[in-house]
Amino acid sequence: MPRMETAAPVPLYSVPMPASVVQKELSLHGHRITYRTADIAERRDAPVILLVHGIAGNAGQWDQVIPRLAEQFNVVAPDLLGHGQSAKPRGDYSLGAYAVGLRDLLLALEHGSATVVGHSLGGGVAMQFAYAYPTMCERLVLVSSGGLGKEVHGLLKAVTWPGAEWVLPLLTARPVHAVASAVSRQVARTGLHAGPDVAEMLRAFGSLTDPRARKAFIHTIRAVIDVGGQRVSARDRLYLAQLIPTMVVWGRRDPIIPATHGEHAHSVMPGSRLEIFDGVGHFPQVERPDDLARVLLEFAATTEPAHLDLGGEDLTTLRRMLTGGPSPTG
């Protein structure tokens, strides 16, 4: 199993957007969608890589990865609807709706296909995208992904409890978030580190001071998690990954979703690759952006992109797999 050496934690709080990264926006179905990309001229002959963040996250979590990937790819890292600076309408925040949104974004940007990288909730969205639009998915990369097992951090399960929508505004009030941030900074000055997982969780909850973002968060999380844990699973369809080059990436010390989910997924995804980062938590793109970029580029360099044609032999293959695939794995 591939392993990497432990590195020192990154600083706890957000750094400015790198000069090599820019934010752009467009309108989809009348809603504002923002996305980040590299500050270089788009190369129409270069492949596309789509980076999908997790619950309550935003495209800024990919800022340190984007410049490296831009050496070979046209990079698109959107703020999902209801997140970041994208619109937060009343509407559908299911995995399927997010997958449709990614399809529409790629088409609006005149991209017919992409290597799709999904983190946490974004991994579930990426799997849904690959399942629904296989002809548009060249490769699939799951980073600390949801949808591969039941276990999840208790804090996320708590948001599904009845009445959580009334408690959440108190927990995300600006004074509370400011105090938590100040405490974390003081701890960091002593030479101890609360870790990037704590930092990112604080940032995520800080974004929920916006009532619209808070409602989107609650609708999103209740679509995939209940009091018993994750309730949406792709495990009975993972055998389909043999149609698309697939890689699973995880942090060994992930406190949000255990790394064992990734190891099991790899074991039942024919031809998949597995990268486990020792000493890393739930956010490899924040803790170890250079290492994550490196394995992504290596994966792309050593695999041929899938170009499925569902009008020919690929359709016959898919039909045979769907009706004769393995029994569900739970």
pLDDT tens-digit series, residues 220-249: 877 777 677 777 777 778 878 889 999 999
Q: Which of 53, 261, 266, 282 is catalytic?
A: 282
In the set 53, 254, 266, 291, the catalytic residue is: 254
Range in 10-19, 74-83, 192-201, 288-297 with the lowest mean pLDDT? 10-19
CB 100 within 8 A of CB 108: no
pLDDT digits (tens, 9 = 90+) for 76-95: 999 999 999 999 998 899 99
254 is catalytic: yes
Is the model's pLDDT at 328 over the cut of 60? Answer: no
* pLDDT (0 to 100) of residue 157: 65
DSSP assignment string, 47-107: -EEEEE--TT--GGGGTTTHHHHTTTSEEEEEPPTTSTTS---SS--SHHHHHHHHHHHHH
Query: Is 104 part of the annotated catalytic residue set?
Result: no
**pTM confidence score:** 0.83
CA 282/CA 286 separation, integer angstroms: 9
Residue 183 has pLDDT above 50, yes or no: no
Q: pLDDT at residue 208 above 80?
A: no
Verify whether residue 307 is a known catalytic residue. no
Annotated active-site residue in 86, 120, 144, 145 = 120
